[in-house]
Amino acid sequence: MSGPLISAALERIQPSQTSAMTDRATALREEGRDIISLSVGEPDFATPPHVVEAMAKALRDGQTRYTPVGGTSACKRAAALHFTRDLGIAATPANVTISAGGKQAIFHALCATLDAGDEVVIPAPWWVSYPEIARFAGANVIPLPTTPASAFRFTAEALEAAITPRTRWLLLNSPGNPTGAVFPADELLAIGEVLDRHPQVLVMSDDIYAPLRYSDEPHATLAALRPDLADRVLTVSGVSKSHAMTGLRIGFATGPEWLIRAMERLQSHSSGNPCSISQAGAVAAMQGPQDFLGEWRDIFRTRRDLVCAAVNAIPGLSTPVPDGAFYCLTDAAPLIGGAFRDDMALALHLLDHGVAIVPASSFGGAHCGLSGFRISFAAGADTLREAMRRIETAVKSI
Ligand code: PLP
């Protein structure tokens, strides 16, 4: 990727490994190979019909012009409704912004606030884009390693030890990608106490998987638990994962007004407004029925149980049962070092057997001593059964 005209900032980052693996699977399929792709993080459900209808109507009504950079007032009201109703955060249209996916909100927030040499504390394993965005913005990534034994959650003491005077952000992601880790309220409160001692630290709470929790505990999030930290917590959400709208690219963020305005200032020179038609869809998604979310979650729970049982029955593979999201981070350490130099080599072997997954190294697994791969269980039960059969055959063939 390097070249004489590439900037130093771009040289610091890698392309998204999840997109790379998905593109590879697509290319093999186009060559006629039978590949099951469990590499991508998107629900396989159809976008709800009332959302599709709202977008078709917006198109017919000619809503094809620029909108305000940070979103229409209708979409901002819908996002504020979501934060208040679903996450318990006192949001108003004045302190929310709409972006082209949650990813863009995170990109703009970090780029608007980081300078060279600043530090960003990121729990590992992490979502692929967090460290790359932080590095692009010139910051140093400080990994906060977690392990399957601690259900991929870090302690308040470990956080305290990771913070320095240069720390500008802590990135929190619950339920988490790629681990499915969910932080309970008492642990978030303990994290809040650490933050009380470090007023220079902003917190990104990425709650994009909030509806996908498999226990009956209510969703816990820092901005709701500690409203007094509101001046430095940015909560990110959206409709991609919750409402099967990944391609429509709508994300929401709420936080202190200075930060929301800073993100919009940057957005005014990057994408401008998010897609007008998609915004109309997001309004319908938030204002329309929500009851199907529970049904979708139950379907995901069944798939999770199917995949975890199958993984844990294959010698050399193991996984904890994730509490949320639709990923299962599988430990394959016993298989690495012999036939396979690293987990990327194992991933390519599985691809040869017709299943695309993403190696744990793409998610910073090395910081946690973890070699393995992430399985996305956002696919139908029959597809998942066939994929697990192929993985078993591939592992047994070693
Ligand atoms: N945050 C996490 C943890 C994710 O896994 C993703 C997508 O994979 C996003 C944010 C961004 O979602 P989108 O930009 O599709 O809304």
> Looking at the structure, do residues 36 and 78 belong to the same domain, yes or no?
no
Beta bridge partner(s), residue 27: none
Residue nearest to atom 12 of ligand 1 (CA): 102
Question: Among 4-8, 33-37, 142-146, where is mean pLDDT lowest?
Answer: 4-8
Instruction: Please report which confidence band the pLDDT of residue 124 belongs to, taking 50, 70 and 90 as the band edges.
Output: very high
- pLDDT value at residue 36: 94
> Looking at the structure, do residues 129 and 245 belong to the same domain, yes or no?
yes
| Domain assignment of residue 55, yes or no | no
Which of 17, 241, 358 is the pocket-test mutation for ligand 1 (most atoms within 8 Å of CB)?
241
| Domain assignment of residue 233, yes or no | yes
Interval between CA 273 and ligand 1 midpoint (Å): 19
CATH number at residue 131: 3.40.640.10
- pLDDT value at residue 2: 61
| Domain assignment of residue 56, yes or no | no
> Looking at the structure, do residues 178 and 93 belong to the same domain, yes or no?
yes
Mean pLDDT of 178-184: 97
Which of 40, 42, 129 is the pocket-test mutation for ligand 1 (most atoms within 8 Å of CB)?
129
Residues 6+ apart with CB under 8 A from 12: 135, 136
Q: Is residue 161 predicted with pLDDT exceeding 70?
A: yes
Q: Is residue 88 predicted with pLDDT exceeding 80?
A: yes
Interval between CA 239 and ligand 1 midpoint (Å): 10
Higher pLDDT, 25 or 269: 269
Last residue of a domain, one of 287, 302, 326: 287
Q: Which residue has the tokens 């004045």?
A: 94
For residue 202, which phi and psi values (nearest 5 degrees)? -90, 155
> Looking at the structure, do residues 298 and 283 belong to the same domain, yes or no?
no
User: Is there a contact between 250 and 236 (Cβ–Cβ < 8 Å)?
Assistant: no
Residues 6+ apart with CB under 8 A from 165: 200
Q: Is residue 381 predicted with pLDDT exceeding 60?
A: yes
The angle at the Cα of 252, spanning 248 to 254, to the nearest 5 degrees, equals 175
What does pTM read for this prediction?
Answer: 0.96
> Looking at the structure, do residues 279 and 191 belong to the same domain, yes or no?
yes
- List, in sequence order, every beta strand (DSSP E) within the chain: 36-37, 96-99, 119-124, 140-145, 167-173, 202-206, 233-238, 251-254, 327-331, 355-356, 358-359, 372-376
Please choose, from the candidates 221, 237, 227, 147, the residue with its C-alpha nearest in 3D space to the C-alpha of residue 188.
221
- Give the containing element (helix H, strand E) for 185: helix 185-196
Q: Above pLDDT 90, what percent of the chain? A: 92
Q: Is residue 181 predicted with pLDDT exceeding 90?
A: yes
> Looking at the structure, do residues 126 and 35 belong to the same domain, yes or no?
no
Give the sheet arrangement for strand 327-331, strand by strand: 327-331, 372-376, 358-359
| Domain assignment of residue 307, yes or no | yes
Which of 107, 128, 177, 236 is the pocket-test mutation for ligand 1 (most atoms within 8 Å of CB)?
177
| Domain assignment of residue 37, yes or no | yes
| Domain assignment of residue 191, yes or no | yes
CATH number at residue 15: 3.90.1150.10
How many folded domains does the chain comprise? 2
Kindly give the number of the ligand 1 atom that is closest to the alpha carbon of 246.
15
- pLDDT value at residue 40: 85
> Looking at the structure, do residues 265 and 359 belong to the same domain, yes or no?
no
Q: Which amino acid is at 14?
A: Q
> Looking at the structure, do residues 232 and 370 belong to the same domain, yes or no?
no
Pocket of ligand 1 (CB under 6 A): 41, 101-103, 127, 173, 177, 206, 208, 238, 240, 246, 251
Interval between CA 209 and ligand 1 midpoint (Å): 9
The Cα 167–Cα 236 span in angstroms is 20
Residue 42 belongs to domain spanning: 8-46+292-396
| Domain assignment of residue 382, yes or no | yes
The Cα 114–Cα 234 span in angstroms is 14
Last residue of a domain, one of 258, 287, 316: 287
Q: Is residue 4 predicted with pLDDT exceeding 80?
A: no
> Looking at the structure, do residues 31 and 153 belong to the same domain, yes or no?
no
The Cα 127–Cα 130 span in angstroms is 6
> Looking at the structure, do residues 205 and 221 belong to the same domain, yes or no?
yes
Last residue of a domain, one of 230, 260, 287: 287
Kindly give the number of the ligand 1 atom that is closest to the alpha carbon of 41.
8
pLDDT, tens digit (0-9, with 9 covering 90-100), for 38-86: 998 899 999 999 999 999 999 999 999 999 999 999 999 999 999 999 9
> Looking at the structure, do residues 371 and 252 belong to the same domain, yes or no?
no
For residue 396, which phi and psi values (nearest 5 degrees)? -70, -20
Q: Above pLDDT 70, what percent of the chain? A: 99
The Cα 48–Cα 260 span in angstroms is 29
Half-sphere exposure of residue 339: CA atoms within 13 angstroms, side-chain side: 14
> Looking at the structure, do residues 237 and 169 belong to the same domain, yes or no?
yes
pLDDT, tens digit (0-9, with 9 covering 90-100), for 280-334: 999 999 999 999 999 999 999 999 999 999 999 999 999 999 999 999 999 999 9
| Domain assignment of residue 53, yes or no | no
Interval between CA 103 and ligand 1 midpoint (Å): 6
Mean pLDDT of 157-180: 98
- Rg of the chain in Å (alpha carbons): 21
